[in-house]
């Protein structure tokens, strides 16, 4: 029964990881910007939802504020931070350092504006009920799983069927060719940041209700997103999604054999094993062509 | 854009310059090592507020020849940043005395302070081995071994709990609480049915809740701190754990009190008498309420007392024409032995630790209510 319980909690964690990791993968895969501040987008979205909900405006306004804040933040970072650096031919590392710095600034600003304490939205949806003997599932877990599935299927549909989606895939393959075909890489880059940032919102909202928030919450999210992107294959949305679920399950099922303190180490052991066994990732394209 | 960048840098430098100016010779600076960022940042404000009020009182009363100030450094409650901060306090600012917090942080800075003869006073960390860090390390808080000896027997004898699960953070504090609980449970006829260590940065505990449930524990002791301890409590309750939750003094923070899932949880804290009627305690309580808009908690008292202790010792040294150094402060503390601080007259044990009775408290309606006061000898 414990194994079944841990599998269910692993799937819930995996769904949340998938939403954040896929957003990061989309941005990194399309633009090659190492958007470390993606964790800050997550934290910002979660706190905006918390602020609006806790102020008594309700769930939907909170959700809208969270979407608006996450998308605006993603676009602003792209416009005002990354593009000036890239315009001056700043290196990949310069962009990474800038992004890392933004993450720290946002963490501190959240601390200043929302306080440094633990906060959470109390909801009956986060309370688990016994569905089988000794197996508890919260309604929120099911909702998170379904929402993640819908978001990821919608993203796949968008990337395959729409003009912008195809452009994003093309941008990830060859930015020069995108220009030759008359597409605007800047518009596509903005689209990647907007969609990638919006994808963190469901996970941020669920986290605010399930495990609660503190200003440093984005750090863990970012680590998992990064690991899932590498293991799944850079630029591969399905690969990232599968890797995120593997991490969620591994983190929880490892409790059957290891102390909880090693669960994060298990995730990174998988990362190292994947890098050695398949450097291009589960569904990534080999660099040696 | 480049001009704007240069302008911004110049403006920032110009703004920062006045603050970087060295303090005048008669000013006295002590250190304050607290977490102001990271998952334990909530403690930064809680721990420093008592010290800030003490500085205000000390300067208003002109206890010292110069203005006293505290140079705060952010440790993030982690040993590595704390060591860097301590080196700065010792080597650059030449402080004779610093406030410290958190077990891991205190153990990391203790060798530096001892080597440089800087007094370190802890009012927040409760790892039992903090009593063994040498002459220059003092504690104005009862340590966790004493807290466990109060809460666990209470839970067994008064609440009828016998099967304990322990969730402890993987650091010196957690390890020492594990050791103490194993020993105390053996004495009082309880059983430790499950023990689980968590990384200090972990935030997901739903899987851990499943393990607690499957262990059949009727009480779960949470030995963590900061945001993590509250996240553990919430996720335990959300995931069907209805065992009695027990913790220690780190639980006495506003976010733990405010969490509805913590209703009925018990925790321990040092017993501080705020109704003694003596002038210092009355002034502290009234001014704390006026300054921060709430009643003082034990942590606030501890850092007020720690800062006031420095002022009492430094005042005595100045009266004798002696320099305020760590070595002189230590010698003066050993000479004076007892001090009038908030809560009454207190004496240090030989190992530099103050002994207080322990309150066992329960969280009811978002506030802590004392269930019992235990005298630990």
DSSP, residue by residue, A231-281: HH-TT-HHHHHHHHHHHHHHHHHGGGTS-GGGHHHHHHHHHHHHHHH-TT-
A224/B contact by beta carbon, under 8 A: no
Listed range (A61-65, B2-6, B44-48, B156-160) with the worst mean pLDDT = B2-6
A273/B contact by beta carbon, under 8 A: no
**Burial (0-12, 13-18, 19+ Cβ within 10 Å), A94:** middle
**Burial (0-12, 13-18, 19+ Cβ within 10 Å), A288:** exposed
Q: Report whether pLDDT(B242) > 50.
A: yes
Residue B377 is predicted with a pLDDT of 64
SS3 B355: coil
B255/A contact by beta carbon, under 8 A: yes
- How far apart CA A170 and CA A163 sit, in angstroms, is 10
Per-residue tokens: B52 = 């800030």
- How far apart CA A270 and CA A10 sit, in angstroms, is 15
**What is the percentage of chain B residues whose pLDDT exceeds 70?**
93
pLDDT digits (tens, 9 = 90+) for A76-134: 999 999 988 888 776 778 888 999 999 999 998 998 888 877 888 888 888 888 888 88
Strands of the sheet with B191-198, listed across from one edge:
B191-198, B163-169, B219-223, B244-247, B266-270, B358-364, B367-374
**What is the percentage of chain A residues whose pLDDT exceeds 90?**
45
Cβ-defined contact of B207 to A251 (cutoff 8 Å): yes
- How far apart CA B321 and CA B162 sit, in angstroms, is 59
Pairing of strands A135-137, B219-223: unpaired
A101/B contact by beta carbon, under 8 A: no
How near does any CA of chain B get to the CA of A40, in Å?
13
Which whole number is the average pLDDT over B355-374? 90
Which whole number is the average pLDDT over B296-324? 94
Cβ-defined contact of B207 to A108 (cutoff 8 Å): no
Ordered by where they begin, the domains of chain B are: 27-143+276-347 (3.40.50.2300), 144-270+358-374 (3.40.50.2300)
The band of A172, judged by pLDDT with boundaries at 50, 70 and 90, is confident
Q: How many CB atoms lie within 10 A of CB A260?
A: 22
Cβ-nearest to A9 among B36, B199, B206: B206
- How far apart CA B280 and CA B189 sit, in angstroms, is 43
Q: Report whether pLDDT(B127) > 80.
A: yes
Residue B206 is predicted with a pLDDT of 87
Cβ-defined contact of A217 to B42 (cutoff 8 Å): no
Q: Report whether pLDDT(B234) > 90.
A: yes
User: What contacts A105, CB < 8 A, 6 or more positions away?
Assistant: none
Q: How far is CA B61 from the centre of its chain?
A: 26
CA-wise closest residue to A210 among B204, B293, B223: B204
DSSP E strands in chain B: the ranges are 28-34, 68-74, 97-100, 119-122, 137-139, 163-169, 191-198, 219-223, 244-247, 266-270, 338-341, 344-347, 358-364, 367-374
Which whole number is the average pLDDT over A26-52? 92
pLDDT digits (tens, 9 = 90+) for B35-94: 988 778 888 888 899 999 999 999 999 999 999 999 999 999 899 999 999 999 999 999
The band of A70, judged by pLDDT with boundaries at 50, 70 and 90, is very high
DSSP β-bridge partners for residue B70: B30
The band of B18, judged by pLDDT with boundaries at 50, 70 and 90, is very low
Q: Report whether pLDDT(A269) > 70.
A: yes
- How far apart CA B48 and CA B71 sit, in angstroms, is 11
Cβ-defined contact of A128 to B238 (cutoff 8 Å): yes
- How far apart CA A105 and CA B149 sit, in angstroms, is 43
The band of A59, judged by pLDDT with boundaries at 50, 70 and 90, is very high
Residue A176 is predicted with a pLDDT of 74
Disruptive mutation site among B210, B226, B228, B297 for chain A (greatest number of A CBs within 10 Å): B210
Which whole number is the average pLDDT over B113-124? 95
Residue B344, CB half-sphere, CA atoms under 13 Å: how many? 12
- What is the total residue count of chain A? 289
SS3 A134: coil
Give helix then strand counts, H and E, for chain A. Answer: 12, 2
The band of A285, judged by pLDDT with boundaries at 50, 70 and 90, is low
Query: Torsions phi, psi of B232, nearest 5?
Result: -60, -50
SS3 B37: coil
**Average pLDDT along chain B:** 88
Pairing of strands B344-347, B338-341: antiparallel
Which whole number is the average pLDDT over A253-274? 87
pTM: 0.77
Cβ-defined contact of B203 to A220 (cutoff 8 Å): yes
**What is the percentage of chain B residues whose pLDDT exceeds 90?**
62
Residue A286 is predicted with a pLDDT of 56
- How far apart CA B258 and CA B255 sit, in angstroms, is 5
Cβ-defined contact of A118 to B259 (cutoff 8 Å): yes
- How far apart CA A185 and CA A33 sit, in angstroms, is 13
CA-wise closest residue to B204 among B163, B238, B252: B238
Q: Report whether pLDDT(A157) > 50.
A: yes
- How far apart CA A261 and CA B232 sit, in angstroms, is 13
How near does any CA of chain A get to the CA of B42, in Å?
5
Terminal Cα distance for chain B, rounded:
67
ipTM of predicted complex: 0.81
B260/A contact by beta carbon, under 8 A: yes
Residue B6 is predicted with a pLDDT of 41
User: What contacts B1, CB < 8 A, 6 or more positions away?
Assistant: A84
Q: How many CB atoms lie within 10 A of CB A106?
A: 22
Q: How many CB atoms lie within 10 A of CB B208?
A: 26
- What is the total residue count of chain B? 377
Q: Which residue has the higher pLDDT, A34 or B220?
A: B220
DSSP β-bridge partners for residue B191: B163
Query: Torsions phi, psi of B158, nearest 5?
Result: -95, -25
DSSP summary character for residue B155: H
**Burial (0-12, 13-18, 19+ Cβ within 10 Å), A180:** exposed
Cα Rg for chain B, rounded, in angstroms? 22
pLDDT digits (tens, 9 = 90+) for B185-195: 999 999 999 99
CA-wise closest residue to A37 among A84, A3, A78: A78
């Amino acid at each position: 029964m414990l194994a079944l319980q841990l599998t269910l909690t692993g799937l819930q964690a995996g769904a949340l990881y998938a939403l954040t990791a896929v957003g990061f993968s989309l941005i990194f895969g399309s633009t090659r910007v190492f958007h470390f501040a993606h964790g800050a987008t997550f934290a910002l979205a979660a706190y905006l939802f918390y602020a609006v909900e806790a102020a008594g405006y309700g769930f939907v306004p909170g959700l809208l504020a969270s979407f608006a804040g996450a998308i605006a933040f993603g676009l602003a970072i792209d416009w005002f931070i990354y593009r000036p650096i890239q315009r001056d031919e700043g290196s990949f590392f310069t962009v990474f350092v800038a992004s890392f710095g933004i993450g720290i600034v946002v963490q501190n600003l959240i601390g200043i504006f929302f306080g440094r304490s633990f906060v959470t939205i109390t909801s009956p949806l986060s309370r688990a009920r016994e569905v089988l003997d000794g197996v508890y599932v919260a309604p929120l877990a099911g909702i998170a799983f379904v929402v993640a599935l819908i978001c990821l299927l919608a993203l796949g549909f968008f990337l395959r069927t729409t003009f912008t989606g195809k452009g994003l895939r093309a941008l990830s393959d060859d930015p020069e060719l995108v220009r030759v075909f008359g597409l605007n890489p800047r518009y596509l880059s903005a689209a990647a940041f907007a969609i990638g940032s919006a994808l963190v919102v469901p996970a941020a909202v669920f986290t605010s209700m399930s495990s609660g928030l503190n200003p440093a919450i984005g750090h863990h999210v970012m680590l998992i997103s990064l690991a899932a992107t590498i293991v799944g294959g850079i630029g591969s949305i399905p690969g990232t999604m599968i890797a995120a679920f593997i991490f969620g399950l591994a983190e929880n099922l490892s409790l059957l054999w290891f102390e909880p303190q090693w669960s994060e180490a298990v995730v990174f052991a998988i990362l190292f094993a994947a890098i050695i066994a398949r450097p291009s990732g589960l569904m990534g394209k080999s660099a040696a062509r | 854009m480049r001009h704007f960048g240069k302008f911004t840098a110049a403006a920032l430098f110009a703004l920062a310059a006045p603050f970087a100016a060295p303090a005048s010779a008669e000013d006295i600076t002590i250190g304050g090592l607290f977490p102001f960022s990271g998952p334990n940042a909530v403690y930064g404000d809680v721990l420093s507020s008592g010290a800030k009020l003490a500085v205000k009182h000390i300067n208003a009363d002109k206890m010292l020849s110069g203005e006293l100030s505290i140079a705060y450094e952010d440790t993030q409650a982690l040993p590595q940043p704390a060591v860097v901060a301590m080196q700065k306090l010792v080597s650059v600012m030449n402080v004779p005395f610093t406030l410290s917090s958190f077990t891991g942080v205190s153990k990391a800075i203790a060798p530096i302070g001892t080597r440089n003869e800087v007094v370190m006073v802890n009012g927040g960390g409760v790892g039992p081995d903090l009593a063994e860090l040498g002459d220059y390390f003092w504690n104005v808080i009862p340590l966790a071994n004493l807290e466990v000896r109060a809460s666990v027997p209470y839970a067994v004898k008064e609440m009828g709990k016998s099967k304990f699960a322990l969730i402890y953070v993987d650091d010196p504090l957690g390890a020492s609480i594990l050791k103490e609980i194993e020993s105390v449970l053996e004495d009082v006829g309880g059983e430790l049915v499950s023990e689980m260590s968590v990384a200090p940065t972990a935030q997901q505990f739903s899987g851990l809740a499943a393990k607690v449930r499957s262990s059949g524990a009727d009480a779960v002791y949470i030995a963590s701190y900061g945001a993590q301890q509250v996240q553990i409590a919430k996720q335990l309750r959300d995931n069907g754990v209805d065992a009695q939750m027990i913790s220690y003094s780190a639980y006495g923070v506003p976010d733990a009190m405010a969490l509805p899932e913590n209703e009925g949880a018990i925790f321990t804290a040092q017993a501080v008498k705020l109704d003694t009627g003596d002038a210092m305690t009355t002034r502290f309580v009234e001014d704390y309420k006026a300054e921060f808009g709430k009643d003082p908690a034990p942590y606030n008292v501890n850092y007020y007392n720690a800062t006031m202790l420095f002022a009492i010792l430094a005042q005595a040294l100045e009266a004798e024409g002696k320099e305020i150094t760590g070595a002189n402060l230590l010698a003066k503390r050993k000479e004076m032995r007892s001090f009038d601080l908030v809560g009454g007259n207190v004496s240090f044990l030989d190992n530099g630790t103050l002994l207080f009775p322990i309150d066992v408290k329960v969280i009811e309606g978002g506030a802590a209510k004392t269930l019992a006061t235990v005298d630990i000898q």
